[in-house]
Amino acid sequence: MRLSAESLSGVRGERPLFSSLGFALEPGDALVLTGPNGSGKSSLLRLVAGFGRPTAGTLRWNGAPIADDLESYQRVLHFVGHQEALKPALTARETLRFWADLAGRPLDDTLGPLTTMGLARAAAQPCRFLSSGQRRRLALARLIAWQAPLWLLDEPTVGLDDEALALVTDLIERHRARGGIVLLATHQPLALARARHLSIADFPPARPAAATAW
Ligand SMILES: Nc1ncnc2c1ncn2[C@@H]1O[C@H](COP(=O)(O)OP(=O)(O)OP(=O)(O)O)[C@@H](O)[C@H]1O
């Protein structure tokens, strides 16, 4: 299992964000994306998730460009973005089941992942009654339910209390210990062992060639 990015350039809208960016991740690796607001961390994660194409460079999964078979590639990853996309009328438990069915990965046990995320008592509550931290915990419960090998996490800890922060750290470390790969963006330092860091600011967009002065 190997995820690599070679000479990647990305834009969002019209704006160039980074260029010549590269990394290679193998089982057990964690790469933490850092950089100021608006520098392109979410945009990079979206590219790695296969939502959009880089303007240059190649993303590879096990050596093959992800664009060659995006559907198969997207089955091995789990992306947790900023938006939890919860349906207000569904309970936490129904939400997990709904997501599982939508992804074509039916679940035997919905309560287990919710319990792990400290949501057992909220399992029967409609999502409209969940707090923002509980909503975040619910989005993260999907990671436990699916066990995809590649986790792409965009600021997974926003709005979480200390207990949930420790839970997420533990989830990530257990995932790595099983041979999983994690790529995450965060402004909040996480206590991950031997995590690598990549600052988007170290890969500034290529400048257009300067006009010749006469
Ligand atoms: N939907 C969009 N359409 C066009 N431009 C966008 C869109 N979303 C974000 N951008 C722009 O893309 C740039 C990079 O945004 P991105 O969300 O990737 O940064 P980030 O590093 O994740 O920021 P933050 O730390 O604030 O989450 C910003 O300049 C932003 O204004």
- Overall pTM > 0.90: yes
Q: Which residue has the higher pLDDT, 146 or 29?
A: 29
ipTM of the predicted assembly exceeds 0.85? yes
Pocket-testing residue among 32, 39, 184, ligand 1, by greatest number of atoms within 8 A of Cβ:
39
Residue 207 has pLDDT above 90, yes or no: no
Task: Give pLDDT tens digits for 3-28.
Answer: 999 999 999 988 999 999 999 999 99
pLDDT in tens, 74-125: 999 999 998 877 899 999 999 999 888 877 777 888 899 999 999 999 999 9
Residue nearest to atom 31 of ligand 1 (CA): 38
Instruction: Compute the distance from residue 205 Cα to the ligand 1 centre, in Å.
Output: 14
Q: Is the CB of 186 under 6 A from ligand 1?
A: no
Q: How far is the CA of 168 from the centre of ligand 1 (A)?
A: 24
Distance 2 CA to ligand 1 centre (A): 27
> Cβ(41) to ligand 1 under 6 A?
yes
Q: Which strands make up the sheet holding 56-61, listed edge to edge?
A: 15-25, 3-12, 56-61, 64-65
- pLDDT of 212 > 80? The answer is no
Q: What angle do CA 154, 29, 148 make, to 5 degrees?
A: 60
CA pair distance 50, 148, nearest whole angstrom: 15
Asked if pLDDT for residue 209 goes beyond 70, the answer is no
Q: What is the pLDDT of residue 36?
A: 93
User: Ligand 1 in contact with 179 (CB < 6 A)?
Assistant: no
Reported confidence tier of residue 210, pLDDT bands at 50, 70, 90: low
pLDDT digit string, tens, across residues 112-164: 999 999 999 999 999 999 999 999 999 999 888 887 999 999 999 999 999 99
Mean pLDDT of 63-76: 96
In the predicted structure, residue 29 carries a pLDDT above the cut 60: yes
Kindly report the average pLDDT of the chain as a whole number.
92
Instruction: Tell the residue nearest (CA) to atom 25 of ligand 1.
Output: 37
Nearest alpha carbon, ligand 1 atom 9: 12
Closest to 181 in 3D by CA, of 89, 98, 61: 61
CA of 41 to the centre of ligand 1 (A): 8
For the CA of 43, the nearest atom of ligand 1:
18
User: 64-65 and 30-34: which strand pairing?
Assistant: unpaired
Of all protein residues, the one whose alpha carbon is nearest to atom 27 of ligand 1 is 37
> Per-residue pLDDT for 184 more than 70?
yes
- For the cut 70, the answer to whether the pLDDT of residue 211 exceeds it is no
Mean pLDDT computed over 20-48: 96
Contact between residue 174 and residue 30 where contact means Cβ atoms under 8 Å apart: no
Check pocket membership of 13 for ligand 1, CB cut-off 6 A. yes
